[in-house]
């Protein structure tokens, strides 16, 4: 790590990442990506080969691309294979899921069969709370809990749909269908909402355009085999490495 950024305290350890404060930079953090993989609210645990490096590279590539397309986000710079500098945000405790094709938990809430192309994208909110198991919530729940205001919710939906419009062709050009994905947002010191977290095969469902092969964390969740290979394949298709 360059001398410029010196880790001070670890302030958070999640399932896939750690966050550290930095000496001399109040408004920045260091985000470290781990190889650990978890699923089903951490009941299933494992490791995916080089996942920390792959997810750091992919998030760097995708957040840089999104910034060029006008999506404000927390990415500042990558400083090592699995570490990046990010802007410090006050996280909005809502996971925003966007769906283009029916899969995953949508199959339990609707009669859609897996693989059904949705006539328009579905946007869902989940309350980020491990003890509650991240339940799905609607706008009124979010307002009642005061975790976001009306304008925040409008911005979250608008940004999520715009990101979807940018990322669908981005992945398609690289031979993958963007089935669904999860986003997290936070506010900077001025109160502006920025995209945070990561965009990786941990947080997106990606299916090969031609064969429909799953190239994402579902291979780990459901023991489909070829997990390491799938992550390596997505890395190659996006970064060329
Ligand atoms: N997702 C995520 N973190 C979560 C829950 C979901 O990144 O805690 C992603 C998941 O990878 C998928 C999308 O959000 O791309 C929709 O997930 P779904 O609601 O179908 O839930 P899951 O099947 O992952 O339990």
- Condensed to tens digits (0 to 9), the pLDDT of residues 140-163 reads 999 999 999 999 999 999 999 999
Q: Which two tokens stand for residue 117?
A: 């192309």
The encoded tokens of residue 40 equal 């089903």
pLDDT the model gives residue 4: 87
Residue 3 pLDDT: 57
pTM confidence score: 0.97
In the CATH hierarchy, which top-level class contains the domain 7-87?
Answer: alpha beta
C-alpha to C-alpha distances, 128 to 81, 132, 184, 222, nearest whole angstrom: 28, 8, 10, 23
The CATH number of 90-226 is which of 1.10.8.50, 3.40.50.920, 3.30.470.20, 3.40.50.300? 3.30.470.20
Q: Where are the domains of the chain?
A: 7-87, 90-226
**At 201, phi and psi to the nearest 5?**
-65, -10
User: Could you tell me if the CB of 205 is within 6 A of ligand 1?
Assistant: yes
Q: Which of 41, 105, 185 to mutate to test the pocket of ligand 1 (most atoms within 8 A of CB)?
A: 105
Are the C-beta atoms of residues 28 and 48 closer than 8 Å to each other? no
Weakly modelled stretches of the chain, pLDDT under 50: none
State pLDDT tens for residues 41-71: 899 999 999 999 999 999 999 999 999 999 9
Residue with tokens 């990101």: 163
Cα 1 to ligand 1 centroid, rounded to whole Å: 32
How many angstroms separate the Cα of 154 from the Cα of each of 123, 168, 193, 199?
11, 21, 11, 21
Best of 42, 182, 185 to mutate for ligand 1, by most ligand atoms within 8 A of CB? 182
Tell me the two tokens of residue 172. Answer: 């398609």
Residue 41 pLDDT: 86
């Amino acid at each position: 790590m360059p001398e410029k950024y010196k880790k001070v305290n670890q302030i958070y350890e999640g399932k896939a990442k750690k966050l550290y404060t930095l000496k001399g930079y109040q408004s920045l953090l260091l985000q470290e990506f781990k190889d650990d993989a978890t699923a089903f609210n951490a009941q299933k645990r494992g490791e995916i080969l080089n996942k920390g490096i792959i997810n750091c590279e992919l998030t760097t590539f995708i957040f840089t691309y999104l910034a060029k397309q006008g999506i404000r986000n927390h990415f500042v710079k990558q400083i090592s294979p699995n570490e990046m500098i990010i802007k410090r945000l006050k996280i909005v405790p809502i996971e925003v899921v966007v769906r283009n094709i029916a899969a995953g938990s949508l199959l339990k809430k609707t009669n859609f069969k897996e693989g059904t192309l949705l006539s328009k994208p579905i946007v869902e909110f989940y309350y980020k709370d491990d003890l509650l198991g991240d339940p799905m919530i609607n706008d009124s729940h979010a307002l009642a809990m005061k975790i976001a205001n009306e304008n925040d919710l409008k911005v979250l939906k608008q940004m999520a749909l715009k990101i979807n419009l940018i990322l669908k062709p981005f992945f398609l050009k690289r031979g993958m269908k963007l089935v669904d994905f999860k986003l997290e947002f936070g506010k900077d010191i001025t109160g502006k909402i920025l995209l945070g977290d990561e965009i990786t095969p941990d947080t997106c469902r990606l299916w090969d355009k031609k064969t429909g092969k799953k190239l994402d964390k579902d291979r780990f969740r459901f023991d489909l085999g070829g997990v390491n290979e799938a992550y390596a394949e997505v890395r190659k298709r996006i970064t060329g490495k």
